[in-house]
Chains A and B, each alone.
Chain A
Amino acid sequence: MASTPSSSSSPSPSQPKARKKPGQTTSPPPPPQTKWRTGTQERLYSRRLVDALQATRDRAQPPESVGSRAVKEAADSALAMTARGQSRWSRAILFNRNSCRKRVLVKAGGKIRRNRRKHQAIPPATEEAGTTSGVLKERKVKERLKKLGRIVPGCKKLPAATLLEEAADYVAALEMQVRTMRALAEALSAAAVSVPEEEEMEIAEQGS
């Protein structure tokens, strides 16, 4: 990997400080925008992404085209690396790459059952306890927090505050990822377009 982590990436991680001793001020997390929207992160990530893509292309059998899932995984891993493991989701992504498949295969049946139970459990709960509006709202909020926890990698059983922190960081990182990948895709497509054009032009010139 050519990238050297010399970026002035954001102020120190907030997660270790989040579990602070009682009585101290709650530290609002460093705004993820400042962290993820700096140009340095984008450059870092783009380099990592390129390297990862090349690696996947090399790894994938040459005659076949690269699978999109592999590309996505490579992109996510690159993103997690750029986050330097400071956030839970990045660590979860990096660690799950290695052993995820095995776990899924082993627990496939278990997972399915778990999901069914959850989905069945939720509606009756809301119906029963729907007397006070406040209680209902709380349940809604909790539901959504859980859903958010499922979406953000590695944040299934987190308290609300940490979960929201992680979500903010994840959103900012995803935005950066989308931007970078889009730019890369555009550049590549433009290059792909221009090369055949140039070839056509050359052919035309030669012909004429």
Chain B
Amino acid sequence: MERDLFSQMDTDLNSISYLSLNYDHQPVLDHFDSAISSMVSSPSTAPPPPGHTNSLVIRELIGRLGTICNNNNNNKSLAAGGDHSTNTSCYSTPLSSPPKSSLHSLPSMNPNSMPFPPDQGFTERAARMSCFGSGPHMAVSGQLSRVSSSQSLMDAGMTGGAQLEGELTMQESGGGANNGRKRKAGVKGKGKEASLASSGTANSKMSEEDPSAKRCKPDCKLGGKKGGVEENNSNSSENNNDDRENKNENDSNNTDSKPAEPLKDYIHVRARRGQATDSHSLAERVRREKISERMKLLQDLVPGCNKVTGKAVMLDEIINYVQSLQRQVEFLSMKLATVDAPEDCNMDNLLRKDMHQACDRSMQQEVYPSAFPYPNQPQAGPLNSLLTANSISNIGMQPASNLPFDGFGNTSAQIGGFWEDDLQSVVQMGFVQNQEGALSSQSFQGSGPSSSDMKIEL
């Protein structure tokens, strides 16, 4: 039952909003009156307890209120000065006081008496219904349980309308789309965390524009003027359009526009000029854009990929980087395996010192200055053996690693260049100390900016 009502209200919202946008307010009011009459009559037929009756009525009326008060400027007459002041407060404070104060004044003013029960949460719900369309049905239903009292319907209606209108004008001026449609899309986008940037930028773009031209402008940018035509599409398609608009706006920078918009049910993408519009190519384009997005992400992650263009070379670099990281892990694990033995008890302390760089314990303080500035001391036995073992293994790896590292040698933060030089020096010179220096530099300098504190030259 509730869901039927909601769906009905949703469709009513759509129709009413679109009608009212472009046409006179009169048909809206007529529609509204007819709706009211139907609603007023329906409770009489159904025999539920009075609370339920009111709740049903309220739900219907919420929906209709929202849409009408969206668009009707007639309600401005109803909104006394006090109502405007209550607009901002109606959502922060309980709605009991403001509505009731204006309630008594309203019935006299308004010829369009609407049989609504005022309620604390009523206006809030109504506003939310209008703003978010079909979204917060759950919120509405959750709050309907608060419906307790039922005063004259007319009063609540007008207050709700006034507050709704005020809230909506605030919204519109603030950059929300008309009827909350595009705002809904924006909200959905934000809720998806991923399209945060896109929806945010799109919303900011829309906020900069005039409210009147807002609806047309994103359309105009991409595909010429469409007016309210596209808005008559289903909700989902429009949301997809908006999402796609956002995406395309961000991606294409609104460069090309095509006069006719290809209407699709599956994916709504505004086709750019000179590009194919069949669903296959559109889907492919979406896929390609996805991939390019992620390649950009990887580009940021892998050092030295900024100069490289083209998927193949970049993938090469990425592969090499991953392989080098894995080799480093192996090397470090070998090191860890041999170095640690008696120092188990101190591990937690050491970790805290390393990670937080805060020396709590005196022993750490002793260790700290000796460890971090670059001591050139002959190492203990196990380290030497470890390094010799590592040098042998690294020599084994060298022929495989020579080629990929050519690209790394430019920037100082690259591992590859150091590996090349140091491995060659290891091979040629073969001194323990040189090996130590080579291996330490290769292992310690490749990690990036964050570990700059941790560098040690053995």
Is A126 an interface position by the 8 A CB rule?
no
Complex CA–CA separation, A132 to B236 (angstroms): 41
A24 proximity list for chain B (CB < 8 A): 192, 240, 243
The answer to whether B318 touches A183 (Cβ under 8 A) is no
A28 touches B297 (CB 8 A): yes
- Which residue of the partner chain B has the closest CB to A76? B329
Question: In this complex, which of A14, A46, A188 has the most chain B Cβ atoms within 10 angstroms of its Cβ?
Answer: A188
Question: What does DSSP make chain B's interface, helix, strand, loop or mixed?
Answer: helix
Cβ contact of A27, chosen from B193, B318, B321, cutoff 8 A: B193
Q: Given A188-B336, A192-B343, are A183 and B354 also a contact pair (CB < 8 Å)?
A: yes
Task: Give the residue of A22, A32, A148 whose beta carbon is less than 8 angstroms from that of B318.
Answer: A148
Say yes or no: is B44 at the interface (Cβ < 8 Å to chain A).
Answer: no
Knowing A160-B291, A164-B294, A187-B354, the reply to whether A53 touches B336 (Cβ < 8 A) is: yes
* In-complex Cβ contact of A194 among B194, B323, B356, B366 (8 A): B366
Asked if A124 CB lies within 8 Å of chain B CBs, one says: no
Q: Does A97 contact B (CB under 8 A)?
A: no
Closest residue of chain A to B453 (Cβ to Cβ) is: A183
- In the complex, what distance in Å separates the CA atom of A42 from the CA atom of B351? 10
B152 an interface residue at 8 Å Cβ cutoff? no
Point out the residues of chain B lying under 8 angstroms from A193, CB to CB: 370-371, 377, 379-380
Do B194 and A26 have beta carbons less than 8 Å apart? yes
Q: B294 to A29, Cβ gap below 8 A? A: yes
User: How near does chain A come to B204, taking the closest CB pair, in angstroms?
Assistant: 17
- Is A148 in contact with B291, judged by CB distance below 8 angstroms? no
Are the C-beta atoms of A23 and B189 separated by less than 8 Å? no
Q: Which of A80-88, A115-123, A136-144 contacts B (4 or more CB under 8 A)?
A: A136-144
Closest chain A residue to B325 by CB distance? A174
Q: With an 8 A cutoff between CB atoms, is A130 at the interface?
A: no
Q: What distance in Å separates the Cβ of A164 from its nearest Cβ neighbour in chain B?
A: 4
Pair B447/A29 contact, Cβ less than 8 Å: no
Q: Find residues 345-372 in chain B having any chain A CB closer than 8 Å to their own CB.
A: 346-348, 350-351, 353-356, 366-367, 370-371
Chain A contributes a number of interface residues (CB within 8 A of B) equal to 77
Q: Which of B192-219 contact A (CB under 8 A)?
A: 192-195, 197-199
A42 to B311, CA, bound (A): 31
- B451 interface residue, CB < 8 Å from A? yes
B141 within 8 A of A: no
Note all chain B residues with C-beta closer than 8 A to A31: 297, 300
Q: Which of B24-32, B91-99, B282-290 contacts A (4 or more CB under 8 A)?
A: B282-290
Q: A26-B289, A167-B322, A181-B333 are in contact. Are A186 and B456 (CB under 8 A)?
A: yes
Q: Residues of A contacting B380 with CB < 8 Å?
A: 192-193, 196
Contact present for A185 and B367 (CB under 8 Å): no
Query: Any chain A CB within 8 A of the CB of B6?
Result: no
Interface residues of B, count at CB 8 A: 84
- Is chain A's binding surface mostly helix, strand, loop or mixed? helix
Chain B residue at minimum C-beta to C-beta distance from A178: B328
The answer for the CA separation of A140 and B314 in the assembled complex, in Å, is: 11
A93 at interface (Cβ–Cβ under 8 A)?
A: no
> Does residue B326 face the partner (Cβ distance < 8 Å to A)?
yes
> Which residues 140-180 of A sit at the B interface, judged by CB distance below 8 A?
140-141, 144-145, 147-148, 151-152, 160-161, 164-165, 167-168, 170-172, 174-175, 177-179
Interface flags for B295-335 (1: CB within 8 Å of A; 0: not) read 10110111000000011100110110111011011101111
Chain A: minimal CB distance from B280 (Å): 13
Give the distance in Å from the alpha carbon of A198 to the alpha carbon of B343 in the complex: 14
Chain B positions 398-437 with a Cβ under 8 Å from a chain A Cβ: none
Whether B355 and A39, one on each chain, are in contact in the complex, defined by CB atoms closer than 8 angstroms, is yes
Indicate whether B454 reaches chain A with its CB closer than 8 angstroms: yes
A151 touches B326 (CB 8 A): yes
> Chain A CB within 10 Å — which of B318, B332, B456 has the most?
B332
User: What are 9 inter-chain pairs, A to B, with CB distance below 8 A?
Assistant: A25-B199, A53-B336, A72-B333, A144-B316, A182-B443, A187-B371, A192-B342, A194-B366, A194-B367
